[in-house]
Structure formats: structure tokens, C-alpha cells
Structure 1
Amino acid sequence: MSERLVDAYDLVIFDLDGVVYLIDRPIPGAVEAIGELHRAGVPLAYATNNASRRAGEVADLLNGLGVPADAGEVITSAGASAAALARRLPPGSKVLVVGAEALRAEVREAGLEPVALAQERPAAVVQGYGPRVGWADLAEAALAIQGGAQWVATNTDRTLPSPRGPLPGNGSLVAALRTALGRDPDLVVGKPEPELFATAARRVGAQRALVVGDRLDTDIEGAVLAGMDSLLVLTGVSGPADLLAAPEQRRPTYVAADLGGLFEVAGAATVPPDEVEGWRLEDGGGVRLAGDGTAIDALRLLCGLAWSGGAATEVAPHSTAARDALHALGLA
């Protein structure tokens, strides 16, 4: 039996939104893929920038979707941010929390006192996503930071996925404060900072971890910063055009349509590929895609062209199959 992509790694770290589920529904094929990994005894972890749920709540959600998980496998930006504050501040310090109840609970569990008003003179502000965060919350945070409080952001995701399309994420809310204050947060905990991935690897003593994500600007860049290989799946935020335009620090080791890519023959999902069966690029008055094969293999081939400076988005089809592949990739 040929070695599969996943067989080269001693830990698989999954992003959640856009990879395993979308809001509260499983991504097609995700439950089956993770179930296969569990049956094979592959160590798993879940690292999420979502600060609106605690680790136990995330594990409960996963179990409810049919994905066996426990809280010890989940690393959230809320929990990691609270832990970072506990290392920086004396026990019992006041922290102004902008975000969901899960973030307040993590702050409280870390031995700190969550507050809501700048007049309570907090030592720090921690800012995470919450669906009810509004202007009044941002105003209190701005006043507290101007008064000398440290500013910690759980993450800076510009958007978050939804069934209706990308919606404003915590990064958009952080940007509002950044504009008002004229400065950046003192600390950003979540991806693309490498701490969530490093924590996951330390927990199980992993020497070679694989990060699986749907975002180039958080999951993949975070993996690069952590010195880990990565698999981009096209089930969430980043699409083929984003991948072709990716700068070097946001380029994955592998790309696949979904989590089924974990079980491809080792090397088949690599980008750029050494070779792609069925597809070829021809030069004749402009680069043309010729041959036949899967759309994802065509994308892998085009990555090689784009990342070497070629105009991959201007490639013309030279076969019916090529036309269909480019259309499926949104590159027609």
C-alpha cells in the first residue's frame, strides 16, 4: 500500500470553521475523514481563532457533529489569551473584556477579574469576537487603553465564514480600535502567530505536525511561522485565485479540495508539484492549459507557474477539459 500524505506526520492540527464545520454544520466529508484518522490512531488537535466558545464547548459541538473530541485536544484563542494575560499580570488583576461570555469565563478561570468599564481602571484589555460587540464596548476599550491598559487581541481575522458568505471578524473590530488609537495591539495571540500550533505540538510531544486550514492569512502563514507543513483545503475562505497570488509566507505545502486530500498518495498534493498526470502547460501566443484531469491537479500546476512569476490567471484553455477545470476553479 502506498504511503498517504498523512502518514508522514505524528500530529494533525485542524482549524475548525471552514475546515471541519461551517458555523454548526459539518463540511461534507469532514466527519468521515477525521473518523478514519481516529481509527488509525493518528493524534489530532483543533486550533481555532474563534474566541466565542470555550474548549469544552468546542469539543461538545464536535461530538454533536459526529467528530469524537475532548477538551484537551482543543486550543482556542480565548483560552490562550487568558493564559497569556495571567503570565503578564498579578493574580486578581482587572481585565476589560470585549467579546463573548466564553472569553470572560476564560479570563476568570485564569485568576483575573473581568470588568466592562474603563472607569474600573483595568490593567489590560482583551479583545475577541462576539456577535453582540458594539460601539459602546469599543469605546470603553479605547478609553482603557488610552489610560494605560495593555491591549491583547485574541486574533486578527478580517472575516469569518458563514453560509451567506464572509462576515466581519475580530480583525475588523481590532481595525476600528487601531484607527481610533493610532497603534497596534500589544499582543496578538491567535493565528497567524504560531503559539496555538506550538501549544498543540507541545501537548503531545509531536516532532512533525501537519496544519490543515482554509485561510492563507492565518492557518497557512501561522504554519510557516511555526516551521510546520500545511494543507490548504478549499472548503472555506481562501480560494484558487487567492492561492495563485499568495506571497511566499502564505504558501502551503499541499492543497486539496477537502480533507480527503489527507489520504492522497504522498507527494500527489504537493504544491507546486514535480509533475501532474494528465495536465500540461503549452506556450503558443500565450500560456495554455492542455490535457485532462481533475481541477485541483490543474490548480497545483498553475501554482508552479504563478509562484515563479507567470501570469497564471491569464492562462487560456486548450481543451474542453481544461475549460471546465478553469471554470470550476473560478479562473475562466
Structure 2
Amino acid sequence: MTTDVSTQARHEPSQAGRQPSLLAAYDGIVCDLDGVVYRGAAGIGDAIEALNTVLTEQDPQLVFATNNASRSAQVVADQLISLGLPVTAAQVATSAQAGAAYLRRELGVGARVLAVGGEGVAVALTQQNLHAVRPSELAPPDTVVGVLQGWGWEVSLRDLAAACGAIADGAVWVATNTDLTLPVEGGFIPGNGTLVGAVATASGTEPIVVGKPHAPLYEHAAEVLGIPAARALAIGDRLDTDIAGAAAAGMDSVWVLTGVHGFRELARSSTVPTVALASLSGLHHPRIDVCRAGDTWRAGPVDITLQDDSTVVVSRARSGADPLLWANAVAAVGLAVVLSLRGDGADSSDAVAGGDSELTTIAAAFDSALQEAQAPREQ
């Protein structure tokens, strides 16, 4: 089976301008960082401009959420400021903060908590009026009633041993996240999940996990925004953490295709994003509705036809079509088609098995179509 992704002209005007903005239905935004706002040290595409518009208008309110517990909210805010986003530490929610908030509710103000990980862990505990105790400061007969474990370059075997001892004595154990690996230049290193796994094996205990894909980080972000989780819109690039975590917290989600996951990953996933966007610029565009007539799917200026379950034909209006709108329309149709073939869409009559070659081929075709839509074009 072969897949041909071709482009044909269509001159029908879009009706999308008559619809309300995507953001109009929400009171707050919870935005991921890596793969959405920046990649490495550089901002991604038009993300900075799109988010600056949200920050300037302050409607809806915006908070950034990260699984990274090693850095304090202020350090994260400083990085965003360097990219051109005028934010404060109060607009950053970290998994360490979510864990500290959980422990304060469970143990009360002033409780002694073992801080395992980078600076962000101890800072988050202190901000919640808890007594952060470093493993190097813990010596018998000193005790702690909680353990907050996050990643940090300085975490040692002695730190993990201290955590095991505290857990054995009955301390409440919270892990900021269970990411097994951490991407670095040139590859990967063991992530917090690897270190948490070592403590779990040694102690025979499982932690309470607050970071993505679990709900507490998103619930904490909603508290920062001062709104119910159901009134917030989560933005992320990873299906298995960002989008799954939003669903766990009862939030709608925008899956932005500027990071590590594309339609092929969606085909293998069980998550269901609310909206797919080619880039964050789509936040300020009207929401693109997708409708279907037989084997043709229509969204804004785009028609996409599935021919004999093997050919994907993408049609667009060359004359006067906004390239960003076209790319976002391709993303919208791709989401609808893959979810339908997965059996999770509004019309699941075409559902196929998750590993079926048809689903994989169609998903790969949409990855190619989106890449073509985002490529510079001659005027």
C-alpha cells in the first residue's frame, strides 16, 4: 500500500472567520515549556509572539507548567524573560511546587520534609512553609515526616539511602515525576523516574506522583490561576505526559505539533486531545471545525480526501489562503481522521486496530502533509 500526499487548488472561501476565537471559551491557560515554547535555548517559531499577546491582553490568564523539579520557579521565569516573555515566578508552576503543596495539606505547616533533588525542591517546600531538610542535614535522632523527591545533578546514593530510611520510618513519600530519562545534548541521562524506581525497589513502597501525566500538577496550576480545572485549557506537545495529564485533571487540551510527537505517535496512543494546532499562532485564530462528507474531510480552506484507504489528497485554496490557517486546518483534519481510525472520534465506524498498517500509513501521510504545509512557499 502506498500513500500519495498531493496538493490541489480549491477556491472556496473559509467560513472560519465567523467563529469565536479558540481562547474565548476558557478562563486560563496551562502551557508546557519544552517543545512548545522553546527547544533547547531557542524559542520555537511564533510561540513567543503568540504568548506575548496572551500576556498583554491578560485574558485568559496564563501559567507555565513544568515537570522539571530541579529548577525553582524564579529560574524558569528568568529563562522565559530571556526569550522575550515578561513573566514572573508567580506565573510558573513546577512539579516540586505541586508536591510541596500536597505535603502541606497532608502534614500541616512547619512539617519537616526531606528534600531530595535540586534547588527547586527545597525552595518549593520553603514557599509552602514547610521545613526543608537536606539529606546531609539529617542525622539520628532527627526525623522527618515527609519526603519530596525530585531530580538534581547533585543527587547521590547517600541521598537515596536517606529517603529509604525516612520512608521505612513512615514518612509520606511524594515524587515530583517518574520520567525515566532526561534529554541532554548528545543523548539521554537517567531521569527522576529511574532514581524513584531505585528507592521504590529498596523500600518496597510506591510514591505519590504529582507530575505529568498525573493530575496534581495541573490541579496546582489551576489553583495558581484561581479557576476550576475545567475552565482551563492545557497546551502541550507530548501525548503521554502533557495531554494525558490534562485529561486526568479534567482539562481540555491543545496538542501543538512543534515538539516530539506527531500523528504516528497519536496513532499508537490512547490519549484524545481536544484540539490540534500546527503552531501556537492558532490560539488567536477562530477554532477550526471539521466536517465530513464520505471520504472527504473539510476544515476551513482545506479538503482532505482518503482514496481507497491508501491515498491522501490534500486540497487547498492557493489564492488568498493564510498559510498558518492552512497548516492548522491540516492539523485539525489529521486529528479527526486518526482518532476516527483509532475508534476515538465522533465517527468511529472506520476504526481499525491500533497497529494496523492502514492507520500507520495514514498517520505518516498527515505528518508529511503538515510538514509540507509549514514549509516556506513561493508567493
TM-score (norm 2): 0.73
Q: 1:106-185 residue pairs with structure 2 within 5 A?
A: 106-109=124-127, 110-116=129-135, 117=138, 119=140, 120-162=142-184, 164=186, 167-185=189-207
- For 1:166 and 1:252, the matched residues in 2 are separated by 27
Match of 1:314 in 2: 357
Q: 1:183-202 residue pairs with structure 2 within 5 A?
A: 183-185=205-207, 187-202=208-223
Q: 1:1-332 residue pairs with structure 2 within 5 A?
A: 1-2=17-18, 3-42=20-59, 43-109=61-127, 110-116=129-135, 117=138, 119=140, 120-162=142-184, 164=186, 167-185=189-207, 187-206=208-227, 208-247=231-270, 250-268=271-289, 275-276=298-299, 277-283=302-308, 287-292=309-314, 296=331, 299-300=334-335, 301-307=337-343, 308=348, 309-311=351-353, 314-315=357-358, 324-325=368-369
- For 1:118 and 1:280, the matched residues in 2 are separated by 68
Tell me, what secondary structure is at the counterpart of 2:310? strand
Tell me, what secondary structure is at the counterpart of 2:93? strand
- For 1:92 and 1:327, the matched residues in 2 are separated by 53
Q: Gapped runs of 5+ residues in structure 1? A: none
Q: Write the deviation string for residues 67-125 of structure 1: whole angstroms up to 9, x where unpaired.
A: 11112222112122222222323554432221002211222342313130474432222
Letter in 2 for 1:68: P
Letter in 2 for 1:325: A
Structure with larger RCO (C-alpha < 8 A, sep 6+): 2
Compared CA separation, residues 256 and 121, structure 1 to 2 (3 A) = same
Kept in 1: contact 2:73–2:120 (CA 8 A): no
- For 2:298 and 2:290, the matched residues in 1 are separated by 11
Tell me, what secondary structure is at the counterpart of 2:200? helix
Shift of 1:266: 0.8
Shift of 1:263: 3.1
Percent sequence identity over aligned pairs: 42
Compared CA separation, residues 235 and 164, structure 1 to 2 (3 A) = farther
> Is 11-20 or 141-150 further displaced after alignment?
141-150
- For 2:196 and 2:33, the matched residues in 1 are separated by 21
Match of 2:323 in 1: none
Q: Gapped runs of 5+ residues in structure 2? A: 1-16, 316-326, 374-379
Letter in 2 for 1:52: S
Compared CA separation, residues 306 and 118, structure 1 to 2 (3 A) = farther
Q: Write the deviation string for residues 36-88 of structure 1: whole angstroms up to 9, x where unpaired.
A: 22233321111222111222222222111101111222211212222222232
Letter in 1 for 2:86: P
> Is 41-50 or 309-318 further displaced after alignment?
309-318
Tell me, what secondary structure is at the counterpart of 2:104? helix
- For 1:62 and 1:16, the matched residues in 2 are separated by 9
- For 1:239 and 1:111, the matched residues in 2 are separated by 41
Match of 2:10 in 1: none
- For 2:134 and 2:151, the matched residues in 1 are separated by 16
Kept in 2: contact 1:166–1:237 (CA 8 A): no
Please tell me whether Structure 1 or Structure 2 has the larger radius of gyration of its CA atoms. 2
Shift of 1:164: 4.3
Kept in 2: contact 1:254–1:269 (CA 8 A): no
> Is 23-32 or 223-232 further displaced after alignment?
23-32
Kept in 2: contact 1:290–1:317 (CA 8 A): no
The ranges of structure 1 where at least 4 consecutive aligned residues each deviate by more than 6 angstroms after the TM superposition are 326-329
Shift of 1:14: 0.4
Shift of 1:11: 1.3
Letter in 1 for 2:65: A
Kept in 2: contact 1:4–1:266 (CA 8 A): yes
Kept in 2: contact 1:31–1:65 (CA 8 A): yes
Shift of 1:163: 5.1
Letter in 2 for 1:189: V
TM-score (norm 1): 0.83
